[in-house]
């Protein structure tokens, strides 16, 4: 469903969503619209899809373009910004760090400066568990754990967090920093899903292999210090992730000045366990080969989500690995018909 112009009058506050045509951004736009907000998507389509812009108007352009940002702010006068626009591939960040610092750090400064010029004083930032680097202990990570990113992607996210906090201190910006663990799955209603070209995330890559009647999949490293030797991650359903943004926005509107929250379920699954879940859900025996470790990958990242549950009232609804894989498989299957 594409939102018609006449329907927009029924919405409440306007929220500017940078990167709103991307995977997590589009799911969040749907959640915002369902909560009564008017999401305005700002996207340059470097790694997103025009078909995902369905719940509000689109502004096509780049967050690094000062004149464009000023025009967007003047036209829409948003009450807040949710900032997803950023490059996200760990391996690519190791090969091309300059791109990541330019987009993720300089782009964030450009956006924050535009907000300050136009009096927009609330932001929710799409951060990452990559800020923690390689944890000293395998236990779930809380928000106070030491932060030592092991790749340029994580460094740019941590830098952006610090810059946002400085804007908060100097200009009174209200902010929520949401540190995602591994977003996965698809909209249970089937309207949205993950679609990258090329696809680098584990679950959709395994589903592509399953769709090829068990064609080979690759496991990057089986010699980590984990129970089965493969990396362990905390997988969180994208719709639960989107719901947390709506809750954070409500808290900012009701007086919260700043907050930092991990978003995960508090339990990890190894790459090999995810492979088993894909085989279970699809009914296809996917073959896996072992390849060298991927540069910049810590062995294990698992969240302690108690703070977001307690302070934001977040209550996950899709928190099993099989449901995550099932919604992703349903989406993938429909797109492949």
Q: Active-site positions?
A: 153
DSSP assignments along 72-138, one per residue: HHHHH--SEEEE--S---HHHHHH-HHHHIIIIIIHHHHHHHHHHHTT--EEEEEEEGGGGBS-SSS
The Cα 25–Cα 83 span in angstroms is 9
Tokens 């009450």: give the residue. Answer: 79
**DSSP letter, residue 2:** P
The Cα 248–Cα 14 span in angstroms is 15
What SS3 class is residue 47? coil
Backbone angles phi, psi at 314, to 5 degrees: -75, 130
Tokens of 51: 């078909």
The Cα 90–Cα 233 span in angstroms is 14
DSSP assignments along 199-240, one per residue: --SHHHHHHHHHHTTS--EEEE-S-SSSTTSS-EE-EEEHHH
Backbone angles phi, psi at 72, to 5 degrees: -60, -45
Which of 145, 186, 173, 176 minimizes the C-alpha distance to 303? 145
The Cα 234–Cα 179 span in angstroms is 12
Neighbours of 258 (CB within 10 A): 15
The Cα 324–Cα 187 span in angstroms is 10
Which of 118, 113, 29, 28 minimizes the C-alpha distance to 63? 113
């Amino acid at each position: 469903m594409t939102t018609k112009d006449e329907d927009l009058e029924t919405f409440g506050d306007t929220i500017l969503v940078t990167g709103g045509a991307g995977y997590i951004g589009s799911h969040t736009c749907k959640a915002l619209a369902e909560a009564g907000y008017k999401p305005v998507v700002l996207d340059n389509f470097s790694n997103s899809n025009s078909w995902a812009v369905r719940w509000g108007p689109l502004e096509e352009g780049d967050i690094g373009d000062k004149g464009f940002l000023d025009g967007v702010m003047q036209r829409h006068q948003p009450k807040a910004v949710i900032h997803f626009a950023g490059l996200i591939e760990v391996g690519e960040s190791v090969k091309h760090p300059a791109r990541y610092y330019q987009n993720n750090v300089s782009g964030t400064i450009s956006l924050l400066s535009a907000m300050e010029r136009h009096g927009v004083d609330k932001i929710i930032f799409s951060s990452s568990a990559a800020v923690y680097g390689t944890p000293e202990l395998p236990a779930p990570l809380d928000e106070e754990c030491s932060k030592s990113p092991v790749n340029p992607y994580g460094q740019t996210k941590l830098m952006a967090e610090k810059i946002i906090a400085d804007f908060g201190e100097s200009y009174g910006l209200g902010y929520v920093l949401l540190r995602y663990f591994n977003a996965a799955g698809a909209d249970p209603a089937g309207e949205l899903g993950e679609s990258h070209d090329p696809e680098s995330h584990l679950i959709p890559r395994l589903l592509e292999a399953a769709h090829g009647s068990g064609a080979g999949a690759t496991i990057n490293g089986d010699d980590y210090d984990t129970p089965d030797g493969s990396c362990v991650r905390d997988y969180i359903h994208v719709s639960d992730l989107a719901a947390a943004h709506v809750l954070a926005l409500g808290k900012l509107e009701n007086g919260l000045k700043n907050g930092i929250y991990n978003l995960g379920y508090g339990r990890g699954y190894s790459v090999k366990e995810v492979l088993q879940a894909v085989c279970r859900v699809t009914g296809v025996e996917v073959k896996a080969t072992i390849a060298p470790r991927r540069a910049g990958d810590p062995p294990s990242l698992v969240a302690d989500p108690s703070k977001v549950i307690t302070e934001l009232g977040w209550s996950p609804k899709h928190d099993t690995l099989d449901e995550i894989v099932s919604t992703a498989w349903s989406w993938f299957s429909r797109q492949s018909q």
